[in-house]
Amino acid sequence: MIEIVVAYDERDKKLGDYFESCKNDLIATIEQLGGIKNTISEIPAKKCNRAYIDIALKHLKEISFLIIAYMHGTESQLIANNGAFVQVGDDNSFFKYSLFYTNSCLCGKLLGPDLITHQCHTFIGFDEEISALLGDNKDISIKCDNFGITAFLTQDITVFEAYDQMRTNYSQEITKMLSLGDILSAGVLVNAREALVFLGNKDLKKEGLFNE
């Protein structure tokens, strides 16, 4: 069984709907998985704080698990409900043995490395400011944001191979945008692809997250 935690800031005034849509898309994929038992813990904005984690999710502290976060970020923290959810300087030992995956801006600079020093298996995120395509192209950004983690969960591959597929998917979507003459949207995707970072164990496979 894989323990999965999905945190998201649906209350954000600008991107709350987008973050929640990313979460819904991922949950739908997970629910369709065959042969993998999993437990999903959803953390909406009002629960995105360390007090909730320490009480409600304390059973995860010494086991492997997968955490996905859809929210704003800075170089040193993830932000939800106008407050810090995870940040450098806190006791981040809770995330020991986790695969940490996020679409938050900038946090690959300092927060990602900090999580790795706390024995997080792997961190996948972004180390620069990025944007999401909205409107008619919203589903393209959602697919790009979720591509790596869905590839990891649905295929027999390592997490680094999933990351590599994620970058390839960005390139394919960029080519499509350019063929349509949508240079602005292509530029948004190029920036995201180039800001994508991988830290930690390249050889981790989903079996490495299995718990009894």
Residue 187 lies in a domain: yes
Residue 80 lies in a domain: yes
Q: What is the pLDDT of residue 54?
A: 87
Are 112 and 77 a contacting pair, CB within 8 Å? no
Residue 208 lies in a domain: no
The string of pLDDT tens digits covering residues 162-194 is 999 999 999 999 999 999 999 999 999 999 999
What is the β-pairing status of strands 122-126 and 196-200? antiparallel
3-state secondary structure of 35: coil
Residue 207 lies in a domain: no
Tell me which residue range forms the domain holding 126: 2-197
Distance of alpha carbon 9 from alpha carbon 64, whole angstroms = 24
Question: b/e per residue, 131-146, with b = 16+ CB within 10 A?
Answer: ebbeeebeebbbebbb
Residue 209 lies in a domain: no
User: For the chain, what percent of residues have pLDDT higher than 90?
Assistant: 89
Q: Is the pLDDT of residue 36 over 80?
A: no
**Average pLDDT of the chain?**
95
Residue 206 lies in a domain: no
The string of pLDDT tens digits covering residues 58-97 is 999 899 999 999 999 999 999 999 999 999 999 899 999 9
Average pLDDT rounded to a whole number, residues 37-43 = 89
More confident residue, 189 or 37: 189
CA 115 to chain centre: 14
The string of pLDDT tens digits covering residues 3-17 is 999 999 999 999 999
Look up the CATH number of the domain holding residue 13.
3.40.50
Are 101 and 160 a contacting pair, CB within 8 Å? no
Residue 130 lies in a domain: yes
Sign of the Cα pseudo-torsion (125, 151, 166, 130, in order): negative
Burial of 89 (0-12, 13-18, 19+ CB in 10 A): exposed
Residue 210 lies in a domain: no
Total number of domains constituting the chain: 1
Burial of 82 (0-12, 13-18, 19+ CB in 10 A): exposed
